[in-house]
Amino acid sequence: MKRFSVRILNMIIGLVLYSLGIVITIKANIGYAPWEVFHAGLANTTGMSIGVASIVAGIVIAIIVTVSGEKLGLGTIASMILTGVFIDVILIVDIIPTAENLIAGIIMLIAGLFIISLGSYFYIKSAFGVGPRDNLMVVLARKTKLPIGLCRGIVELLVTFIGYILGGMAGIGTAISVIAIGSFIQITFRIFKFDATAVKHESLREYLYGFARQKKLDGVLIMIKGNKVELVPATLDDKQKVYDWCFNSETTKSHTGPPDYPENPISTREDFFDDYQDYYFTGSRPQDGRGFIIQYSGKPVGFISYASFHVKPHKSELDIWMNSEANCGQGFGTDAIVSLAEYLNKNLGVDELIMRPSAKNTRAIRSYAKAGFEASGTSPSDYLLDEYLSVYRDGDYGPGGDVLLVKRFDA
């Protein structure tokens, strides 16, 4: 759950900073940013606070974009509600002074825009979905086929005009905001070396799926029975021997290290323990991965694991190795793969599994084929989350050194 908690924290920090930046631009007192002109005009007309007006506008826009086919995320809903709440709280505590002249106003406006940009960085980084107003621009671009920048300009001019008619403050600050906000965001993202286009946002449906999967797995001890073997949850006491089976046994030469696999050197104990963290052996994070001892007639014959932390929803990656040559070619590995695959599909909603053996390991490829895996012509980017592409795109065997095998389940 650590990665999820960090994402939530990033989202909250982003929304707080975004709201603080908005309040500073308001207190600059030289004209609000376009949407704040609209919110202030709506508040002036209805008697709402600016924060409540922001929430109401967000709800209406969210309904419009949802009807238009856009997906909402947890971040969309959080932005819709919390931004308005945070704005009102900051205005109520009155910690931001109002600028008393044009120079002070311009300085405050620039500071506010940079804080908004910083908030956007944290908020977008969380990958929980964009705010309803950004979704509105996407809908307009999709419906009209106009460039997204032009659609943003149309929307902001329209809301500025309506807000001004309703009594919102428009002025030189409004023009500066429209012209400068894009540059400020670009500068901020460049400072953090952040590519917003590479972020794969999680829809609300995908978030709820992951949450439900976690609740279902909490505290569950999994034992999986196959036709030949049993998969027994590995424990921390198994960690050293699982490492030895992979890197210090007679089967090591069939998948790792020279002379046949110099591109995949034998891992140190420390590197292995770093890759296979304790949750693989405790079951504390089953939504991210779990390891199993493969047993035949009560005796261990190998190890198999699944990993989901780095792949897209409803997908998982399997890895497997046997503990001796005598246990290879007996059908134990194939049965273990089939059994775990069926479990993941039936109980966790996984509909696609991947394995990435070396292209030179024909014995493994044949075994995986018997378990229903086949080369599909797809690429790792079809399965990996964007933030893990640079780490896992090339696999263990380097560019072009492995074979991406896929097993799909019927919907």
Question: Model confidence over 4-52: pLDDT tens digits?
Answer: 678 889 899 999 999 999 999 999 999 988 889 999 999 999 999 999 9
196 — pLDDT class (breaks 50, 70, 90) = low
The pLDDT assigned to 219 comes to: 47
What is the 8-class DSSP label of residue 327?
G
Mean pLDDT across 205-232: 68
The pLDDT assigned to 211 comes to: 58
212 or 272, greater pLDDT: 272
Mean pLDDT across 127-153: 77
Mean pLDDT across 140-162: 81
Mean pLDDT across 146-174: 86
The pLDDT assigned to 98 comes to: 95
Asked whether residue 249 carries a pLDDT value surpassing 70, the answer given is yes
The pLDDT assigned to 1 comes to: 46
Asked whether residue 213 carries a pLDDT value surpassing 60, the answer given is no
Mean pLDDT across 191-204: 71
- Write the pLDDT tens digit of every residue in 357-408: 999 999 999 999 999 999 988 888 889 988 788 888 888 888 888 999 999 9
Query: With contact defined as beta carbons under 8 Å apart, do 301 and 229 qualify?
Result: yes
Mean pLDDT across 228-254: 93
Mean pLDDT across 284-304: 91
Backbone torsions φ then ψ of 101, nearest 5 degrees: -150, 170
Mean pLDDT across 229-254: 93
- What domains are defined for the chain? 2-202 (no CATH), 218-408 (3.40.630.30)
Instruction: Compute the distance between CA of residue 231 and CA of residue 4 in angstroms, rounded to an integer.
Output: 28
Which strand ranges, in their side-by-side order, compose the sheet holding 374-375?
A: 224-225, 230-233, 289-296, 299-307, 315-322, 352-355, 405-408, 374-375
> Above pLDDT 90, what percent of the chain?
53
The per-residue pLDDT of the chain, averaged, comes to 87
239 or 67, greater pLDDT: 239
Give which of 180, 48, 125, 210 is closest to 386, Cα–Cα.
Answer: 125
pTM score: 0.55
Instruction: Compute the distance between CA of residue 159 and CA of residue 156 in angstroms, rounded to an integer.
Output: 5
Cis peptide before 259 (omega within 30 of 0): yes
- Write the pLDDT tens digit of every residue in 39-73: 999 999 999 999 999 999 989 998 888 888 777 78
β partners of residue 290: 306
Asked whether residue 2 carries a pLDDT value surpassing 60, the answer given is no
